[in-house]
Structure 1
């Protein structure tokens, strides 16, 4: 993996990908008995509850807006697309995910968008793959998922890209001794390994939480006083919190121990707005990284309008919004190229649609679909996530890691995007 830094404050993605103007209506709910070869039936498997629930709204809006645009522009193969929405929850609630995957498979969906948690995907993917159904994650980052199944795809850069970017950022900020607070989950430990490799490769050292030290904490831990005390006892220059919702307990523990919040670094799983979380200290100056591009203001406004209209709520974080949007558009275009929307037809055409055959470039569903209708089957969809063509392992060949800085309790200051390439 090699990465180069860009200091541009622009999103880097196309602002033309999402429709502007009045918010569009949501796609209809699928009739379970509808034929998935003639109706593009999208099943969403996103975190509506559990430790990743903060990521749900952006993905719901991204996928919902994509389906709305698809139907506004003639649907898939001339027929409206539909949706079956389910909750993936998290690994602490595996029954919810298992039951909802069965619901989607029994409904014979054309494809599944999700999960956002790598661990949840690892739990359910054997069942999904055995049913020969496409599963496309907008957020999975565990390196172990590369090439895991012909039925599995993702458009979020793997942990190796984020870990490399964040580690270099930490050391370039003048920190040579770093403590890692890592939860014992495949996401946490895999990302930790990449961050540690980057820190040590950049001349720094990990004083706590390193691989093989056995200092990870369980995902169910709620009291972090002793963990924080042990980490700070190694006299680090900076602390990285590699966790999900456990962060709301870790941050107050760090503040109680007198830690300087400007020396805190977060990751994509917890780069959240903590404005409504009691006990979380002012985080001004803290930094964090997340996979994906910083979406354009126009794209955010479009998704916010859709979410307010159809979910009667607002989006406060934008992680994986563009990736969710692009995943749905990509799968729908794969069905358009094939002329039918069953899982096998979609699976066979996802890679070419992402540019593996250097096709005719297009930036919206309407533009790409029009090319297909006119006989140009070899298209290259380039959406707002800004990724490169998918690889043989079904990862993006290149993608962006964005670095943000907190102002108050929200990561409201975009600093830079780092483009990483998977070797």
Structure 2
């Protein structure tokens, strides 16, 4: 059950240039693994050094998300190690590429990380990619912690208690987006969604919410994201002439947008809406100025505040895309704190303490503040940059925030400022 509470509009979205670059590489990093109810094979004691592997996009349809996610991880590790590390030792890290579902890169990367005996793997970004490797990862007794998976499937997936995420399930984003579309006056709606776990699941929730609010989805097209041409898909939407058009996809959305413009379904005639998978300031740089002017979109999590963005820039000065940086930072910080609480760096031990670290104690932010409290014998409640987290018993954040953003005439949106935030409680 989800209850959405509206928060007054606090700032108008402004336009800030953001450009993505790829990230990755390999550096030494200690391990991190954990489970809330791990299988017996996952219950081995750690070796005293926390090792974290990343499985994040350097290539593929979500490559633009790689830089902020890698940077969020690196900032957290920098602060953790400057504070003395975990269990008295520096945390070690190994970066790998998750690719996307068109390749076998994720499986190969997971094999590499498991061979290196990492305790925890941060990733993947894509829900479908995570689904393709989760059995392999948790079967090895390693904690999988995604900063960006939003598919509802993970709420009930068989994971031996070894899967967690800082991104909320799509059920909440879908409800916020569906409500937004109807409240903007769109009683007829068209949906263009990529055909996979993420796209179809989110489209289902948008449809359910919009129609419950009095709107009608007059056409829904679940398309092949690998298609070379989207003219037939867009033509189906055009035939129904909806007031609002919801675009659910990844990098291929740029091609869909080009086809919408070509067929006369421009954003000044029909209201467009996007989601976390395609809200980007780099994917539409080739579009004519004003193409996305007024387009709205939703992003899970509170906006990365400017102060946090400045900290990220100390790690990567050319970073201009910030989506899921906060969730990545929080994932690593939570892993480290759970290992400290467990006094054990094994995956099962960490997972067993993640819920405890996220709620029910003295509130703290940042690794150093929280670990000092732990060493003083205090219970802690880590409140992250992305939000309060507060894990439920299936590893989902029980409280989550969705931000609503708007593009300007320069085809960019300000990742530090939202039109409004909507917060929901998610029953586990």
Regarding TM over 0.5, the answer is yes
Report the equivalent of 1:417.
Answer: 421
CA contact (8 A) 2:11 2:418 kept: no
Bigger shift: 215-224 or 200-209?
215-224
CA contact (8 A) 2:29 2:50 kept: no
1:214-253 matches, cutoff 5 A: 215-253=221-259
Per-residue CA deviation, residues 81-119 of structure 1 (Å, 9 max, x unaligned), is 1100001111111x1100000011111111110111000
- Aligned partners of 1:382 and 1:103: how far apart in 2? 32
Report the equivalent of 1:199.
Answer: 210
Q: CA deviation at 1:185?
A: 0.7
- 1:335 lines up with 2:339 in the alignment: yes
1:90-239 matches, cutoff 5 A: 90-93=100-103, 95-148=104-157, 149=159, 150-209=161-220, 215-239=221-245
Unaligned runs of 5+ residues in structure 1 are 12-25, 210-214, 309-313
CA contact (8 A) 1:10 1:294 kept: no
Q: CA deviation at 1:219?
A: 1.9
1:379-398 matches, cutoff 5 A: 379-398=380-399
Per-residue CA deviation, residues 175-214 of structure 1 (Å, 9 max, x unaligned), is 01000001111100000011111110110010111xxxxx
- Aligned partners of 2:11 and 2:118: how far apart in 1? 37
Report the equivalent of 2:367.
Answer: 365
Structure 1 counterpart SS, 2:204: helix
Which among 267, 271, 274 is matched to residue 266 of structure 1? Answer: 274
- Aligned partners of 1:259 and 1:292: how far apart in 2? 30
Report the equivalent of 1:349.
Answer: 353
Q: CA deviation at 1:7?
A: 2.6
- Aligned partners of 2:250 and 2:321: how far apart in 1? 14
CA contact (8 A) 1:292 1:385 kept: yes
Which among 83, 99, 111 is matched to residue 73 of structure 1? Answer: 83
CA contact (8 A) 1:398 1:420 kept: yes
- Aligned partners of 1:111 and 1:145: how far apart in 2? 17
- Aligned partners of 2:47 and 2:294: how far apart in 1? 51
Q: CA deviation at 1:277?
A: 3.4
How many residues are treated as equivalent by the alignment? 393
Q: CA deviation at 1:372?
A: 1.4
CA contact (8 A) 2:182 2:215 kept: yes
* TM-score, normalised by the number of residues in structure 2: 0.88
Report the equivalent of 1:319.
Answer: 323
- Aligned partners of 1:258 and 1:36: how far apart in 2? 60
Report the equivalent of 1:50.
Answer: 60
| Structural RMSD (CA) | 1.9
Q: CA deviation at 1:387?
A: 3.1
- Aligned partners of 1:96 and 1:134: how far apart in 2? 19
- Aligned partners of 1:236 and 1:194: how far apart in 2? 18
- Is the alpha carbon distance of 1:317 and 1:273 closer, same or farther for their aligned partners in structure 2, counting shifts above 3 Å? same
CA contact (8 A) 1:43 1:104 kept: yes
Structure 1 counterpart SS, 2:298: strand
- Aligned partners of 1:275 and 1:129: how far apart in 2? 34
Q: CA deviation at 1:70?
A: 0.1
- Is the alpha carbon distance of 1:42 and 1:280 closer, same or farther for their aligned partners in structure 2, counting shifts above 3 Å? farther
Per-residue CA deviation, residues 203-248 of structure 1 (Å, 9 max, x unaligned), is 0010111xxxxx3111211211121111111110011111111111
Report the equivalent of 1:402.
Answer: 403
Q: CA deviation at 1:409?
A: 1.1
CA contact (8 A) 2:334 2:357 kept: yes
CA contact (8 A) 1:36 1:109 kept: no
Report the equivalent of 1:374.
Answer: 376
* TM-score, normalised by the number of residues in structure 1: 0.89
Per-residue CA deviation, residues 38-96 of structure 1 (Å, 9 max, x unaligned), is 11111011011100011111111111000000001010011111100001111111x11
Q: CA deviation at 1:253?
A: 0.7
- Aligned partners of 1:383 and 1:128: how far apart in 2? 25
Shift >6 Å, 4+ stretches: none
